[in-house]
Amino acid sequence: MLYDFVGTESMTSVQLSRRLAGTGKTYGLGWFRGRDGQTHCGVDEEELTGSYRHGVDDSKQNQPWNTTWDVF
């Protein structure tokens, strides 16, 4: 996923949107609590299962880093 954004730092939002749309992938943007306990903004490639919902409390969000990997 990271390589999809290489060279995009000088693009306009329209150019970036076109480039990412051309990949055929979907990306999610959101806030998450990291291992350090701080809130971070992140982008990830994913299948989106729902639309953005303004004002939704994400304090009960998924935190896969707090789960042992053998569960997956």
pTM given for the model = 0.50
Residue 42 placed within a domain: yes
For residues 26 and 44, the answer to whether their CB atoms sit within 8 Å is: no
pLDDT band at 19 (very low <50, low <70, confident <90, very high): very high
Q: Which domain holds residue 43?
A: 10-48
Q: Which residues make beta-bridge pairs with 48?
A: none
For residues 46 and 57, the answer to whether their CB atoms sit within 8 Å is: no
- Could you read off the pLDDT of 4-17 as tens digits, one per residue? 889 999 999 999 99
How many distinct structural domains can be found in the chain? 1
Alpha-carbon distance of 40 to 35, in angstroms, equals 10
Residue 64 placed within a domain: no
Residue 67 placed within a domain: no
